[in-house]
């Protein structure tokens, strides 16, 4: 099963067709998940989430009541807690719902601590095994995650740029058959290898590494003065 989850990040960073994405997901029988204020945004889009999680403490009583009356499965997190809302969501969908693909929207922008929690969450040892099933998407970026091994990086239409971030210490990182190759890079702190490209007439290249986690960041330019 696939999951489409909406978090509470700034709505002006949503992909332009987010309502269509969620409606299509609903039609296809995929699981729709709202995290905290994301649950309310889904209701406002006319889409009732199948699962809602959060402490909901930033919501008005009437908004929370609406979510509580509509949503079948609600999980309340504790504001003073070990698990963040995002961690609770990942554990719930992968362990209780046994899903195999998770697309996350509303996870970028806004408070930088919130964004970093979402970006770095898969480094948590109990969540690393799910890394390659997760993507974080906003109007100008699509981030996917890789555990150690050999991976083919596939071209995605409309994303001209591809960068790689080692999210933690990394061992023997190689980028092969791309515009900018990298050979046997090891480092003990996070680092970004930005603005790579596919070679002409190719639609994939290879990365491989022995230890660590890589985020592949596909991106595109957007009109800077027009908010979608």
| Element of type H or E holding 66 | helix 61-70
Contact residue for its own copies among 83, 120, 127, 156 (CB under 8 A): 120
Q: Is 143 in the site for its own copies (CB under 8 A)?
A: yes
- Asked if 11 interacts with its own copies (CB under 8 A), we say yes
Distance, CA of 222 to CA of 34 (rounded, Å): 26
- DSSP state string for 75-144: EEPPSS-SS-HHHHHHHIIIIIS--SEEEEES-SSSSHHHHHHHHHGGGSTTTGGGGGGEEEE-SSEEEE
Of 43-51, 60-68, 95-103, 218-226, the window that binds its own copies (rule: CB under 8 A) is 218-226
What is the closest distance, in whole angstroms, from the C-beta atom of residue 187 to its own copies in the complex?
A: 9
Determine if 227 is a binding residue for its own copies (CB under 8 A).
yes
Site size toward its own copies (CB under 8 A) is 40
Rounded to the nearest whole angstrom, what is the least distance from the CB of residue 133 to its own copies in the complex? Answer: 19
Cα distance between residue 51 and residue 72, in whole Å: 7
217, 162 Cβ separation under 8 angstroms: yes
CA distance 69 to 174: 51
- Pick from 111, 3, 18, 116: nearest CA to 53: 3
Determine, following the binding rule CB under 8 A, whether residue 160 of this chain makes contact with its own copies. no
Is 60 near its own copies (CB under 8 A)?
Answer: no
Work out which of 48, 71, 114, 133 binds its own copies, going by CB under 8 A.
Answer: 114
| Residue ranges in contact with its own copies by CB under 8 A | 10-12, 80, 84, 108-114, 116-117, 119-120, 123, 140-141, 143, 161, 163, 165, 167-169, 180, 188-192, 194-195, 217, 219, 222, 224-225, 227
């Amino acid at each position: 099963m696939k999951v489409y989850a909406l978090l509470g990040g700034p709505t002006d960073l949503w992909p332009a067709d987010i309502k269509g994405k969620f409606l299509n997901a609903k039609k296809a029988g995929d699981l729709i998940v709202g995290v905290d204020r994301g649950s309310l945004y889904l209701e406002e889009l006319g889409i009732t989430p199948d699962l809602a999680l959060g402490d909901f403490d930033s919501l008005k009583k009437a908004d929370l009541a609406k979510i509580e009356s509509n949503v079948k499965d609600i999980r309340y997190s504790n504001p003073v807690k070990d698990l963040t809302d995002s961690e609770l969501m990942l554990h719930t969908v992968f362990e209780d719902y046994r899903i195999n693909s998770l697309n996350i929207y509303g996870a970028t922008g806004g408070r930088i601590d919130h964004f970093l929690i979402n970006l770095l969450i898969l480094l948590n040892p109990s969540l690393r095994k799910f890394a390659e099933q997760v993507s974080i998407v906003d109007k100008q970026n699509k981030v996917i995650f890789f555990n150690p091994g050999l991976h083919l990086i596939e071209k995605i239409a409309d994303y001209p740029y591809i960068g790689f971030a080692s999210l933690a210490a990394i061992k023997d990182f190689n980028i092969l058959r791309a515009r900018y190759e990298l050979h046997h890079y090891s480092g003990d702190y996070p680092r970004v290898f930005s603005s790579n490209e596919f070679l002409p007439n190719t639609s994939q290249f290879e990365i491989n590494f022995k230890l660590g986690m890589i985020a592949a960041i596909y991106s595109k330019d957007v009109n800077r003065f027009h908010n979608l």
